[in-house]
Each structure stands twice: as C-alpha cells, then as structure tokens.
C-alpha cells in the first residue's frame, strides 16, 4: 500500500482528484482551510474513501459534526500510534464490508437507562412504537437519536421490514432529492443509471431522517408531497410510485428559528412531529453514566480481546464531573480508546485525553462572575488553578502533587477542602 503526503487543503484535494485513496488522515486545521472542507469534497467525489479527522480538544464539537458528515472517526491529539493503527485497520475493514452490507443493519444492543428522563423516553417509545405516528426525536449530537429510532421501529408492526437511516446532514444539497426519491437515467449529469431512492427502499418499513433541519426547501416540498399523497416520483420521471413508509426524523438544533424565518416549512414540521421525544444529554443522566461506561468498556474489551478490565475510581470520578459535549458517542470513543491503552487490566486516568481531565476539574469557585475582584480572590484563584494543574500533572497522586507544590499532604487536603475541589 502506498501513502502520499500533502501539506495543505488544496494539495490534498488535488492528490485525491488524481488518484483514489482508501483512507485519508487529515488534521482539522489546515493552512488554507480545514478538514471539514476536505471531508465534504472527498465524500462527494469518492464516498468510499475513509476519512479520519485529527483534532485537538477544543475542536471536539466540530469533530462530532464531522462524523455526522461522513468521517469514519476522529482522533484527539496527541496521536497515539497504537490507537491510530487500530482505527486505520478498522476503517479499511469497514470499506470492504460496506460494499456487500445492506443499508438495513441489525439492531444494536440498547441501554434503556434508569434515570427519570430515560424512563420517560422509554415509556414514550413503548407507547408510540406500535402506532403509525410520525415521530420527531430531539436531542444533542450523540444522545442516541438513531438508536431510539431503531427501537421505535422494533416495537412497531413494521419490525420485520426495513429500517433505512438517512443522514440528511451528510447529503450534498444537489443530490439530496435523488438520494431520497431516486432518479431515472439521464435526468441530470451523472445519472448514468436508474436509481431507487431511500423512500422506495424503505417501502413497508421505516425511514429515519436524521438532521432534517438540513433539508433544502425543494426537498422539503417533495417530502411533504410524499407524506400527504403517499406517493413519490423519481427525479426525471413522470410516473408516480405508491409508498407506505413510516417516518421518524431527528434534529439536534432548535427548529423553532428555522420555522420562524421560513427556512423550514411549518406544514412539514407538523406532519413530521405528530409525536416528539426529547433525549437528555449524557451530563444530565448521572445515574446512567456508569452503566454506559461499563457497557462500552465490556464491548471494547471484547473487541480488543482483553479480559477483566476495570475502571480505576479516579476515572469514574472524572467521568462524573465531565460535561460530555459529544454525549454517548463521545463516551463510547473515550472508553474504547482507554480500554485499548489500558495496561494491567485497569483503565486509569493516564488513558484519558489530558484535556478531558483538565476540563472536568474546573472548580465551581473559579467563576468569579461580576463580583468585585480583590487581591485575595485573585491569589486564591491562582492557587486553586495551580493545585489542580499540579494534581493532573502528578496523575492524581496527591502525595506527589503535594511534593511538587512544596507543601505537605495534609496542607494539600486542607486546601482542597477549603476550595471545594473534589478530586
């Protein structure tokens, strides 16, 4: 296998135009653009190329978005060689599987959760599943909207028919209509064959439209017609085909604004939203956090052939304090990576991204708000920050941290208590 190196977005795109790449590793920040620009162009011209995005912590939200736009994986810096090799291998395997894999995939294992919000979600899924209602699932990125949609499908009479998931956010605008409704040969440049769309493919089953906020106005019009008339017309065709598809859609943005500005059609919104379900972010699912962590740990252990892996208590503490902006998906990635890196069967904070440790340690008292800042509070604030960064540096070993700070262990504990730092 050959590798090519490019140092800018333009050089990378040029190389990708000249030859086919199985896999592309790109930084998010490039001198003349960013990795998302690269991803967009690559996915358009070469959908089978696996794209892996490398990113610093501050870009994690962008990275989560990148996954939705078709990136195979994102890797937080600093890059660990074992980890990147593993990801490249599984990325390459995924392309070879993709060729023969039908779009409908078998239902993944599902954690219901026991916190109140999760129980409510489960009750709603049980209730609405067997009906024919269109369901709109709301929730931040990575909260499990697609998983919930599959669950609804499983609880429906359509469970033996197809569940077709379409990420509307990843559909290039100019081909979205053809992807959803199909086209006939010659209807536009590039339409070299007749093609059935996702709606026809899902006939008799359920279609899951993720990121509906991204659908262009034209596609919204066609979608509304498909719902109202239960018929679709392939692009370039005069013939209509009857379809019987249940629609579940999802969005992680507040559509209210798009409705107000007219970017999203209100009539379509009401058709899609006969019933809505709100998925809570992971940071609000404290009771379920450890169940998820253990679930992903066991899965990763199985994947990497490791046995009896356990979390160190400090890891659990960090998990509980961290905000999880990428929600369940982020946890899955963090745990999978940590299990891969774990030595001696214990996942320690050494295997967590450093930035995650730091951000989970910000003490509540560091937000000084609009209070008058006096010399004492400034001194105390820098003392707190120094204590925290030293504890992180000492990998949570408090004796070591005390030594580095030039104080004894007891004084360190007193300071932690005084500042309310719970490590």
Report whether 217 contacts 263 (CB < 8 A): yes
Buried b (16+ CB within 10 A) or exposed e, 86-101: bbbeebeeeeeeeeee
Would you give the binding string for ligand ATP spanning residues 320-339, x where CB under 6 A is met? --------xx--x-------
Q: Rule CB under 6 A: which of 274-313 touch ligand ATP?
A: none
Would you give the binding string for ligand ATP spanning residues 182-221, x where CB under 6 A is met? ----------------------------x-----------
Any contact of residue 143 with ligand ATP (CB under 6 A)?
yes
Q: Which stretch binds ligand ATP (CB under 6 A): 137-145, 353-361, 365-373, 410-418?
A: 137-145
Q: What angle do CA 53, 56, 57 make, to 5 degrees?
A: 115
Q: Rule CB under 6 A: which of 216-275 touch ligand ATP?
A: 252
**CA-CA distances (angstroms) from residue 25 to 48, 72, 174, 185?**
14, 10, 26, 35
Any contact of residue 155 with ligand ATP (CB under 6 A)?
no
Q: Which residues contact 333 (CB under 8 A, 6 or more apart)?
A: 73, 74, 326
Closer Cβ to ligand ATP, 195 or 329, answer by number? 329
Any contact of residue 415 with ligand ATP (CB under 6 A)?
no
Which DSSP helix (H) or strand (E) runs through 272? helix 266-272
Distance from C-alpha of 388 to C-alpha of 174, rounded to nearest angstrom: 50
* Smallest gap from residue 219 Cβ to ligand ATP (A): 18
Bridge pairing between strands 33-34 and 29-30: antiparallel
**CA-CA distances (angstroms) from residue 84 to 80, 91, 97, 166?**
6, 10, 20, 28
Closer Cβ to ligand ATP, 152 or 347, answer by number? 152
* Smallest gap from residue 210 Cβ to ligand ATP (A): 5
Of positions 52, 66, 145, 337, contacts ligand ATP by CB under 6 A: 145
Which DSSP helix (H) or strand (E) runs through 242? strand 240-242
Would you give the binding string for ligand ATP spanning residues 62-91, x where CB under 6 A is met? ------x-----------------------
Closer Cβ to ligand ATP, 202 or 250, answer by number? 250
* Residue least distant from ligand ATP (Cβ): 144
Closer Cβ to ligand ATP, 36 or 232, answer by number? 36
Q: Which stretch binds ligand ATP (CB under 6 A): 15-23, 96-104, 134-142, 228-236?
A: 134-142
Any contact of residue 141 with ligand ATP (CB under 6 A)?
yes
Closer Cβ to ligand ATP, 179 or 210, answer by number? 210
Closer Cβ to ligand ATP, 12 or 91, answer by number? 91
Count of residues near ligand ATP by CB under 6 A: 16
Long-range contacts of 238-241 (CB under 8 A, 24+ apart): 241/200
Closer Cβ to ligand ATP, 177 or 326, answer by number? 326
Q: Return the DSSP state at 371.
A: S
Report whether 137 contacts 276 (CB < 8 A): yes
Q: What angle do CA 101, 107, 109 make, to 5 degrees?
A: 125
Of the candidates 187, 61, 162, the residue with the CA atom closest to the CA atom of residue 103: 162
Report whether 321 contacts 335 (CB < 8 A): no
Q: Which chain residues interact with ligand ATP by CB under 6 A? A: 68, 110-111, 139, 141-147, 210, 252, 328-329, 332
């Amino acid at each position: 296998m050959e590798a090519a190196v490019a140092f800018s977005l333009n050089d990378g795109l040029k190389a990708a135009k000249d030859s086919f790449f199985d896999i592309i590793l790109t930084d998010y920040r490039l001198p003349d653009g960013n990795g998302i620009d690269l991803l967009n162009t690559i996915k358009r011209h070469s959908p089978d190329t696996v794209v892996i995005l490398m990113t610093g912590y501050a870009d994690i939200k962008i990275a989560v978005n990148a996954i939705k736009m078709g990136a195979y994986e994102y890797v937080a810096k600093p890059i660990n060689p074992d980890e990147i090799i593993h990801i490249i291998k599984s990325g390459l395997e995924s392309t070879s599987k993709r060729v023969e894999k039908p779009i409908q995939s078998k239902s993944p294992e599902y954690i219901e959760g026991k916190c109140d919000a999760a129980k409510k979600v489960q009750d709603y899924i049980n209730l609405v599943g067997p009906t024919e209602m269109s369901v709109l699932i709301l929730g931040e990125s990575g909260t499990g909207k697609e998983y919930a949609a599959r669950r609804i499908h499983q609880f429906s009479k359509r469970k033996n028919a197809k569940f077709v998931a379409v990420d509307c956010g990843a559909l290039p605008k100019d081909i979205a209509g053809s992807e959803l409704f199909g086209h006939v040969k010659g209807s536009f440049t590039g339409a070299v064959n007749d093609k059935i769309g996702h709606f026809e493919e899902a006939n008799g089953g359920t279609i899951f439209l993720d990121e509906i906020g991204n659908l262009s106005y034209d596609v919204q019009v066609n979608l509304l017609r498909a719902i109202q008339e239960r018929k679709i017309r392939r692009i370039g065709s005069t013939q209509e085909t009857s379809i019987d598809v249940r629609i579940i859609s999802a969005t992680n943005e507040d559509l209210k604004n798009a409705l107000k500005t007219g970017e999203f059609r209100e009539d379509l919104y009401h058709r899609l939203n006969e019933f809505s379900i709100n998925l809570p972010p992971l940071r609000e699912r404290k009771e379920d956090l450890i169940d998820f962590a253990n679930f992903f740990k066991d899965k990763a252990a199985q994947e990497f052939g490791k046995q009896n892996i356990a979390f160190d208590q400090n890891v659990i503490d960090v998990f509980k304090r961290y905000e999880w902006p990428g929600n369940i998906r982020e946890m899955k990635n963090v745990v999978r990576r940590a299990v891969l890196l774990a030595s001696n069967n214990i996942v320690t904070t050494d295997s967590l991204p450093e930035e995650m440790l730091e951000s989970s340690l910000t003490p509540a008292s560091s937000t000084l708000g609009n209070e008058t800042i006096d010399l004492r509070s400034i001194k105390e604030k820098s003392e707190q920050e120094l204590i925290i960064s030293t504890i992180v540096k000492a990998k949570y070993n408090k004796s070591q941290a005390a030594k580095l700070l030039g104080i004894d262990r007891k004084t360190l504990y007193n300071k932690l208590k005084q500042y309310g730092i719970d490590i």
